[in-house]
Amino acid sequence: MTKRILCLFLSLALCLGGAAVSASEPGDVIGEAVYTDIVAYINDQPIPSYNVGGYTVVIAEDLRKYGFDVIWDNGTRSLSIAPADDQAFAAGTGVVYKYDGTGVKFADVICTDITTYLEGEPITAFSIDGSTMVPLNALKACGEVSFSQELRRADVKIPWIPINDNPNPVEPKKVSRGVIVLDPGHGRLSGNMSDEQKTADGWIYNSSKGGWGEWRHWKSGTTWQDCGGYGCSGRVTEGGSCWYPIGAGDRGREPEITLRNCMFAKKYLEEMGYEVRMTRNTNDENPSMTKRLIYCYPNNDTSAAPDADLFVCIHSNAGGGRGSAYIELSGVYDQAGIPSNYADIGNYAGRLINDEITGSTSLMAYMGGCYPYMPELILFCKSPIPIAYIECGFFDNSSDLAILNSEYEQIGKAIANGIDKYFKN
């Protein structure tokens, strides 16, 4: 069954009792998801469920909690669901939509180009707010599905032993869905670092420049060959030069804010199955921008090919304003190895992440969510893989600071969900 047929099937299912609709294309809105008073259970353990076109549906990734393997293949854009060999619970998405009453719409249903399989056979799937949802009835392929009108309860009975009754539970298998480098912006104040610490964190002492810092560019067409002030694109921020002094990165509140956001993003990404590498794990570290890029490589070996899929910088803004935005890449980036659509990829990922932040936290969108005035940032000019750069709130604005200090877990979760949408879309 093709993806287009799946979309047509869903379109017709959503229009039962009304006029038929034409075949839909991926991205089309083909219905709506509403809250239901039906409570769904798998082997007597509750699972969040919703209603789409009369179907009771569940989030596909949540099935990991109930003894299923749910594996995403980015190459074929497919999701494969099957009983797990180890019969153990794993983490699901953690998504639970706030209940606002039976029959109340909470999201549009989108026609998806993702093919979903259950034990090797294609099934109808629903894309809702970036999550893949599957009808509970599809699980008949694995067990028994029943419904009690009186109890308003749906039950799925799968013939395997839940982990709670297993005397020797097995650690669930980890299937990596991608490698993410999370970069909490800034770090320890440079004035509190010894020369040895600066060297260890990748900073360079340049007597002609009057101190410690790093070069903004690689020589054109290379990586890991610092420009030294010539043979590069020469792109610099206003008033800057090829040399970036270490003190230009000193911040007071920002390092703690960015680290906290990234630690929660890491938590949720790992629950989804991603491998996450942090460029710093404490506020005692202050790696140069150049050193942060070593995490794009296997075992930090910069002589190998990069194996990370996306580099995500999380910063917080200052200087007058309010809200969150991604910084837009534009123009020519000439480091070796990057794809021709490097800027487009980074901007797409940045938009998805920022939209999640502004859509699920109290932070508003700054400048419509896109800041277009700093495309010459060091990490843009040196990263060997696609990169997204977020300025999350203004830490010098009291309203934003209150949000940053109280909603950091929600912000981290939003970052993770935005990255997950990027990989799915």
Q: Which of 41-55, 124-138, 238-252 has the highest mean pLDDT?
A: 238-252
What's the pLDDT at 385? 97
- Calpha distance 108→248 (Å, rounded): 45
* pLDDT tens-digit readout, 82-109: 877 654 444 444 455 566 667 777 778 8
Average pLDDT over residues 259-270: 96
pLDDT band at 313 (very low <50, low <70, confident <90, very high): very high
Which domains, and CATH codes, for the chain?
3-165 (no CATH), 179-424 (3.40.630.40)
Q: How many residues does the chain have?
A: 425
Are residues 131 and 94 in contact, defined by beta-carbon separation less than 8 angstroms?
no
pLDDT band at 7 (very low <50, low <70, confident <90, very high): low
**Amino acid present at 297:** Y
- Calpha distance 229→225 (Å, rounded): 11
Q: Quick check: helix, strand or coil at residue 202?
A: coil
What's the pLDDT at 174? 43
Average pLDDT over residues 343-355: 97
Predicted TM-score of the model (pTM) = 0.62
In the predicted model, is pLDDT for residue 360 greater than 90? yes
What's the pLDDT at 99? 62
- Calpha distance 287→185 (Å, rounded): 10
Are residues 136 and 26 in contact, defined by beta-carbon separation less than 8 angstroms?
no
Cβ neighbours for 305, distance < 8 A, ≥ 6 positions apart: 297, 337
What's the pLDDT at 125? 81
**Nearest CA to 297 among 283, 277, 318?**
277
What's the pLDDT at 25? 75
**What is the per-residue DSSP string for 84-113?**
-TT----------PPP--TT-EEEEEE---
* Residue 311, both tokens: 């580099």
**What is the per-residue DSSP string for 77-91?**
TEEEEEE-TT-----
Other beta carbons within 10 angstroms of residue 168's beta carbon come to 4
What's the pLDDT at 28? 78
**Amino acid present at 210:** G
Least confident segment among 113-127, 340-354, 387-401:
113-127
What's the pLDDT at 157? 85
* Residue 415, both tokens: 């970052």
Q: Which residue has the higher pLDDT, 97 or 417?
A: 417
> In this prediction, what percent of the chain has a pLDDT beyond 90?
57
Average pLDDT over residues 285-305: 97
What's the pLDDT at 164? 46
Are residues 289 and 339 in contact, defined by beta-carbon separation less than 8 angstroms?
no
Are residues 383 and 307 in contact, defined by beta-carbon separation less than 8 angstroms?
no
Other beta carbons within 10 angstroms of residue 166's beta carbon come to 14
In the predicted model, is pLDDT for residue 270 greater than 60? yes
Which run of H or E residues covers position 146? strand 144-148
- Partners of 122 in the β-ladder: 117
* pLDDT tens-digit readout, 175-206: 457 999 999 999 999 999 999 999 999 999 99
* pLDDT tens-digit readout, 126-167: 778 777 888 888 888 888 888 887 778 888 888 764 444 444
Identify the sign of the CA torsion 115, 118, 120, 124: negative
**Rg from Cα positions in the chain:** 24
